[in-house]
A and B are shown apart, each in its own frame.
Chain A
């Protein structure tokens, strides 16, 4: 198992470099530069700015410089936010997004798995109602859910602040807003696969053995969790790296906003910072998901060549 994990991590390193290399060149091929949005700059000023940030070098030279700085953990200055380094900005914003995303992930997992399990084991009305709720959760966009939650829980009931990121309770509404979609997907995925497993012959064997319904469901869930785990890799990365919509609605200083704004601003260094954070999360969670799948299912372990 440890050997498998090590192998995966070693293979992830070139993948990571391919991603950042591709992004490095792609953003520079897009028409427009980091200073085009400023008011009309004189050609001299623009040249001076480009020289100051090293943007007048040829692309290969810029790339080598970027790698050199990266090896020291320095992602360079942000072009948009003067006097702030990208490393410092990303660290500061990512902390907020991690807190928010972590809470959302916990909510999504708990609520999603619980609803899915109840819906799969129950039948008739309860099951149908839960299915309808999860479908609604998948369909409702965050920019609808967020304002509705604000209207009910802060404007009408006054339990929470409408927006901001100052007190501990400020995490509740945004994390619920962020979690709802994922919780609904997890519920649907888990319900469908658990129901499928419960209909299989081996679940009948478990009943014929004299097991309680709960025990039968628990044994079936080991196989039923696989689709959920596969989905969790990108879902967790998405939640933990922040959401543009949720951060905008609740005015939260997270990383999500930068994914959009840095691209619009051609803020090259900031784009690289965001992409790297997202790539690391995606790669790590995929490795974790594959390890979890192997632990859940001995057949998968065999295919992956995992030995315990």
Chain B
């Protein structure tokens, strides 16, 4: 039995009488301790898929979600608000793309992590010490001092480390990282990826990594789901997908990874007509 099992997930958005189907029937699973990447470009439905797992999509009626998402055999989509609050942060924690806007600018980073600890781990006596420990674990030096720093006093990389510390502070079983490195410098990206890899190894936690970048998932995720236009078009072990992609869209995405040492080579852009043509020839249904 998988820890998380998503069945026939459909997500559609209504705006001004028009309904847009963002996710058109997606099924996948994540096992305990497993790390899965969902790869796709903007608009492929990968982010909304991730958001739906803790019901973080707008609740104002503009967004409709159907299907099932079983977490430990419990359907997330059937949970009441109280169960949802226990799930969010406590069992499924998130790291978002933009750390600078994802932290509240008027509270110190320590207080923001402390809030999560108080919510999900009421047994912790010394919350401050627990937060400092969490900050140290993500590689923040002088953590006790940084506790009272405000987000704007930290660099983007540091802010993302704080986000990760906040996510980890409540010992979640699944970490959902939505493009966690996209807003960061390339050198910092590597540090964050290394940090995530180390944490996954140490904690035996599961992760869903959302990215458009095939380059960062090697050695981090054991399995890949490729999403295109609201569907999973290909899935399998990372190495296999990387070296032997089947779907024309996967091939196009992999061809987009820029490589060092190949000077003079042009950056590739995706030719959708070609993908559609080839996909039809290969018998993929849309």
Contact = CB atoms under 8 A, between A and B. Distances in A.
Q: How large is the interface on B (under 10, 10 to 19, 20 to 34, 35 or more residues)?
A: 20 to 34
Interface in A208-233: 208-212, 219-220, 222-223
Contacts of A297: 105-106
A204 B234 CA distance: 30
A298 B150 CA distance: 7
B106 A209 contact: no
Contact of A210 (B60, B87, B108): B87
B6 interface: no
Contacts of A209: 88-89, 115-116, 119, 166
Interface residues of A, number: 22
Contact of B120 (A123, A204, A207, A210): A210
Given A123-B60, A222-B107, A204 B115 contact: no
A296 B106 contact: yes
B89 A219 contact: no
Contacts of B102: 201-202, 204-205
A141 B93 CA distance: 51
A196 interface: no
B56 interface: yes
B203 interface: no
B103 interface: yes
A138 B162 CA distance: 43
A250 to B, nearest CB: 41
A206 interface: yes
Contacts of A210: 84-90, 116, 119-120, 170
A124 B59 CA distance: 12
Given A201-B101, A202-B101, A299-B150, A207 B56 contact: yes
B76 interface: no
B261 to A, nearest CB: 37
A38 B56 CA distance: 74
A44 B60 CA distance: 79
11 contacts: A124-B60, A201-B101, A202-B102, A205-B102, A209-B89, A209-B115, A210-B84, A210-B87, A210-B119, A222-B106, A299-B152
